[in-house]
Structure 1
């Protein structure tokens, strides 16, 4: 198998179809989960909140953006996203800071604002709106019976080509921002070498922002400014050949745009993401480097279809090399290197952002290496993904092919469900012609109670969980068997989430992550082309057609370390700890003991009764847990009542208690 894949690497032959399969499956009516969560809601509910109107702070938007309340009413603003947010009146009459005590509201934080007078109150988030408070993360509160006509911010028309005008910094303009403010659509802002201590916000479409030297043109946030360079609602902006560092939030950031291009960019030691495109379509990020972010080095989120390409990038020393929440549809992550992070790539579904589920991303021809960096910065939500190469959490119809995935202490490729407001299965994904080695638990893993529609063919690996994935769910097979998955991975991730919440594992400091060396300069032939990002996805579609194994795949294969692992789910999830051991025993191993005891005692009782009841026998065998439970409750068991009750309640009770504690701490 390895020789076949290595031959394919050398010849760069592309094989196989990129067909998508499957559909959306949402699990409804999980009785145990509903009981736990419903009980928690009843116990933890706060009656003082009755009658309040809520506005959710989703990452980069308010939901709903327009809210009406009565005179004297109160609105509770709650951050349900992953980024810091706030709400501030345009006229500074009120702010969430007054109630919360800080402008920096993190996920889960709430603040109340009361409106004693009628009127219309526009507001914005200071982190994610333009300086004029009109574009980006903005909203409106309408109080009382007043007339209100929504105002739509006017957007300048994008330009189809360079105007021929170059605005030079600092020879003509003292700062990047003054040059940007003076520019017309289609102009180029050319930046000379220097350290620019500013926060650049771009709202003019079709600008070309370019540094003369990638390594010497540096926008420095000094750990006090939010974003280094932000493009808000401006279509067709290209940013090229420069560096962003030390921002509190993001290095390079496009939001709510159609058309974007990032080329030869370096972003390091920024407090959220390195290079980030949100709620945006029709883009390309190429020949770039990002590192040292507590969330991800590269992020494309909340778009469908995204029509986006990430090509020839390096991501390291971050929590996630790539994160793609609710992003997919003609989204290609190709021929790039993802190494030394907590996890390599993690497309995922979250209900706290728009457009769930994540679906239809292609991960093709990448090097995914050594993603087990315990010194990388992270936030609680990202820590449970530690030690995996490619992790798909609640994603649908993705395509993972021709990747080299080496040296991960947990799993090379793992697909698991994700639970937030809904329970999202990882379903319908094609895993084909990958080389996976040096995995601590298993090379390919399905995690969770059930897996449907995924297929596996032509991969080079040592172990899979469950056994026989390629035989039972081959991509060319007419039938794909519905399988259960590895529950120990889910329980281990739950324990890691608890550890992160309780501070048992300390995040690395994003401010002190390794500083990268000089990165490749933008070639002169590329500098000769000056054009806005009018149709970057279409212009770079040739990269998709040419994608095969990574050009350096042979080099990394030769350096691969670590033999095959046959430990599988017997091993606790790495890194272990007290909680990991407890949850491995009581939430993973205990159910097997409970099942064995219930089933054994049921068959023993039938044997002692000398009854040959085929119905109960079939039910116990074919319906694990529930069959034996039903027999002990309704099957006429002759076992003493105290024995049956203690057997049924003790094992199941301990399991539910352990899960309940985890849910209470994690949610």
Structure 2
């Protein structure tokens, strides 16, 4: 161990810290600390011991646990693909003392099937948490799950083969999801929603960004469900059933007021059967349902091929509860090799939607391609 790491932790004896596989950088009471988790140690115990501003550094290894974060300003950092968080063997459990509220919440995160949970409440959001450079794999629900957060930042994380979502946020604002890899997840690789348990108007995410991620082999690449005011830019979305799916309904405010730009959306030709909420999906590039004032610009959308009602390059589709698309701007996109059409407006009752300067070969109705 280097000189700047000592085998001590606030409120934990030297021998206990050694048993837990933790070390803390010596500091003043107010200075941020690095809490180091060694192989065989508990990430959750380090998180529980952390104060706002601290960093929990997780060394290479496989850690079989779920991790709950409720401390604002905390950074959880691994070593990329060498730091793996996977489900615990046997029944879900927590390593925190069973009598604490943290233990109950951590266990709820685990029994809910999630890998890393960042959880606040309606009156008390958890702000400015950062998750960096680790892999979350094999959970039955989500790799990373966040609710009632503000300023959550997830970067350099790999979320793979989780049962529902790779990286997901609800009831949250100003999220930053950047340079992550989401692959082989059962639903969306990256999921941003107002709420997964209640109906209601779209949440203003206050500028959530989904930037420069590689999202492959999921059911849907990026889902934006009943939310407003976010950016989906510069992502690679390939080999999913659908690349980007914007979901709105009849609630007010409507979903939309977002920008989908600069993405490469290629060969999302995996077949996904119908669910109680959605018809079968295959070969869908970008789909807008019940969206308003969304800008779809400067994307490359190629070779998305299927035979479902949602198949094609860029589609407007009336939502499944009848909400219309209004005032959406689809412009400057390169849309080629998609079937049954590169551009399709299947929501002809919607008002104010424009298709301008898109390079494509086929459109429904005809005449929407610039070349």
Q: TM-score, normalized by length of structure 1?
A: 0.44
CA drift at 1:350:
4.0
Runs of 4+ displaced beyond 6 Å: none
Q: Greater strand share, 1 or 2?
A: 2
CA drift at 1:191:
0.4
CA drift at 1:469:
3.3
Q: Does the 8 Å CA contact 1:167/1:189 hold for their aligned counterparts?
A: yes
Residue 288 of structure 2, aligned match among 392, 401, 406 = 392
Cα distance in 2, alignment partners of residues 412 and 222 from structure 1: 41
Cα distance in 2, alignment partners of residues 312 and 276 from structure 1: 16
- Residue 284 (structure 1) aligned with residue 186 (structure 2): no
CA drift at 1:424:
0.8
Cα distance in 2, alignment partners of residues 378 and 425 from structure 1: 21
Cα distance in 2, alignment partners of residues 378 and 264 from structure 1: 32
Cα distance in 1, alignment partners of residues 288 and 244 from structure 2: 8
**1:300-449 map, 5 Å:** 300-302=192-194, 303-329=203-229, 331-350=230-249, 357-374=254-271, 379-409=275-305, 410-420=311-321, 423-449=322-348
Q: Does the 8 Å CA contact 1:276/1:299 hold for their aligned counterparts?
A: yes
Q: Does the 8 Å CA contact 1:319/1:383 hold for their aligned counterparts?
A: no
Relative distance call for 1:274 and 1:383 in structure 2 (3 A) is farther
For residues 123-175 of structure 1, the C-alpha deviation after alignment (integer angstroms, 9 at most, x for no partner) is xxxxxxxxxxxxxxxxxxxxxxxxxxxxxxxxxxxxxxx9430111027x920
Residue 63 of structure 2, aligned match among 196, 209, 216 = 196
Cα distance in 2, alignment partners of residues 259 and 208 from structure 1: 12
Per the alignment, residue 128 of structure 2 pairs with 236
CA drift at 1:370:
0.5
- Residue 466 (structure 1) aligned with residue 358 (structure 2): no
CA drift at 1:440:
1.6
CA drift at 1:295:
1.4
CA drift at 1:384:
2.5
CA drift at 1:294:
2.0
Q: TM-score, normalized by length of structure 2?
A: 0.77
Q: How many residues align?
A: 303
Per the alignment, residue 188 of structure 2 pairs with 296
CA drift at 1:448:
3.4
1:439 counterpart SS class: coil
1:323 counterpart SS class: strand
Cα distance in 2, alignment partners of residues 222 and 388 from structure 1: 36
For residues 526-561 of structure 1, the C-alpha deviation after alignment (integer angstroms, 9 at most, x for no partner) is xxxxxxxxxxxxxxxxxxxxxxxxxxxxxxxxxxxx
Q: Does the 8 Å CA contact 1:340/1:373 hold for their aligned counterparts?
A: yes
Cα distance in 2, alignment partners of residues 274 and 232 from structure 1: 16
CA drift at 1:305:
3.7
**1:501-650 map, 5 Å:** none
2:46 counterpart SS class: helix
Cα distance in 2, alignment partners of residues 193 and 314 from structure 1: 23
1:179 counterpart SS class: helix
Q: Does the 8 Å CA contact 2:241/2:284 hold for their aligned counterparts?
A: yes
For residues 322-341 of structure 1, the C-alpha deviation after alignment (integer angstroms, 9 at most, x for no partner) is 10101121x11111100000
For residues 590-624 of structure 1, the C-alpha deviation after alignment (integer angstroms, 9 at most, x for no partner) is xxxxxxxxxxxxxxxxxxxxxxxxxxxxxxxxxxx
Cα distance in 2, alignment partners of residues 380 and 438 from structure 1: 30
Please list every run of 5 or more consecutive structure 1 residues that lacks an aligned counterpart in the other structure: 1-161, 472-563, 565-667
**Which of the two has higher C-alpha Rg?**
1
Per the alignment, residue 162 of structure 2 pairs with 270
Cα distance in 2, alignment partners of residues 275 and 325 from structure 1: 14
- Residue 215 (structure 1) aligned with residue 81 (structure 2): yes
Relative distance call for 1:265 and 1:382 in structure 2 (3 A) is farther
Per the alignment, residue 8 of structure 2 pairs with none
2:174 counterpart SS class: strand
Q: Does the 8 Å CA contact 2:66/2:88 hold for their aligned counterparts?
A: no
Relative distance call for 1:464 and 1:222 in structure 2 (3 A) is farther
Q: Greater helix share, 1 or 2?
A: 1
Greater RCO between the two (CA within 8 Å, min separation 6)? 1
Query: Which deviates more from structure 2 when the two are superposed, residues 378-387 or residues 248-257?
Result: 378-387
